[in-house]
Structure 1
Amino acid sequence: MPYTARHKEQSRQRILHAAARLFCSHGFDRVTLTEIMKKANMTHGAFYAHFSGKSSLYEAAMEFASSNGFWARNQKQTETKETHLKALVTRYLSWSKNDKEHPSPLEFLVTDAAHKDEKVRQVYQSCFDSLVDRLSGILLKRGVTQPKEVAEETVISLVGTVTIARSFNAVRQSDFIKRAQERIINTLNSHSK
Structure 2
Amino acid sequence: MKVSKQQAAQNRERVVETAAKLFREHGYNGIGVADLMKAAGMTHGGFYAKFGSKEALLAEAAAKAIEVSMEDWDRVVAKQPGDPLRAVTEAYLSPLHRDQIGRGCAIAALGPELSRLSDEVRDAVTDGVSKQIDKLTPIMHQADPQAQRQSALAAYAAMVGALVLARAVTDEKLSAEMMDAVLESINRAV
TM-score (norm 1): 0.83
Q: CA contact under 8 A between 1:105 and 1:127: conserved in structure 2?
A: no
Displacement of 1:46: 4.1
Which residue matches 2:23?
Answer: 23
Aligned length: 185
Tell me, yes or no, if structure 1 residue 156 matches structure 2 residue 157.
Answer: yes
Contiguous gaps of at least 5 residues in structure 1 = none
Specify the alignment match of 1:87 in structure 2. Answer: 87
Structure 1 contact 113–125 (Cα < 8 Å) conserved = no
User: 1 CA distance for matches of 2:65 and 2:135?
Assistant: 15
The CA deviation string for residues 164-186 of structure 1, in whole angstroms up to 9 with x for no partner, is 11222212212221222111221
Residue equivalent to 2:73: 74
- What is the aligned-residue identity percentage? 24
Question: Which of 181, 184, 193 is equivalent to 2:183?
Answer: 181
Give the conservation status (yes or no) of the 8 Å contact 2:166–2:175: yes
Question: Please, which runs of 5 or more residues in structure 2 have no aligned partner?
Answer: none
Cα distance per residue 1:143-167 (max 9 Å; x no partner): 3542222111111000110111122
**Cα offset, 1:33, TM superposition:** 0.8
The one-letter amino acid paired with 2:71 is A
SS of the residue corresponding to residue 187 of structure 2 reads: helix
In the alignment, which residue of structure 2 is the partner of 1:34?
34
Residue 102 in structure 1 maps to residue 103 in structure 2: yes
Determine the structure 1 residue equivalent to 2:131: 130
Q: Report the CA distance between 1:112 and its aligned residue.
A: 2.8
- The answer on whether the counterparts of 2:24 and 2:101 sit within 8 Å (CA) in structure 1 is no
Moved over 6 A (4+): none
Q: Is the 8 A contact 1:136 1:148 kept in 2?
A: yes
Partner deviation per Cα, 1:25-84 (whole Å, 9 max, x = no partner): 333233311221122121012423421111211111111111112x22332653565321
Seen in structure 2, the aligned counterparts of structure 1 residues 73 and 101 have a Cα distance that, compared at 3 Å, is: same
Equivalents in 1 of 2:6, 2:117: separation in Å?
Answer: 36
Q: Is the 8 A contact 1:58 1:120 kept in 2?
A: yes
For 1:74 and 1:114, how far apart are their aligned partners in 2?
25
Q: What amino acid is aligned across from residue 5 of structure 2 in structure 1?
A: A
* Secondary structure class of the residue paired with 2:168: coil
What is the alpha-carbon distance in structure 2 between the residues aligned to residue 30 and residue 121 of structure 1? 19
CA drift at 1:86: 0.7
Report what 2:3 is aligned to: 3
Output the aligned Cα RMSD. 2.3
2-side partners of 1:32 and 1:182: how far apart?
39
State the alpha-carbon separation in 2 of the partners of residues 113 and 49 from structure 1. 24
CA-CA distance at 1:117 after TM superposition: 2.4
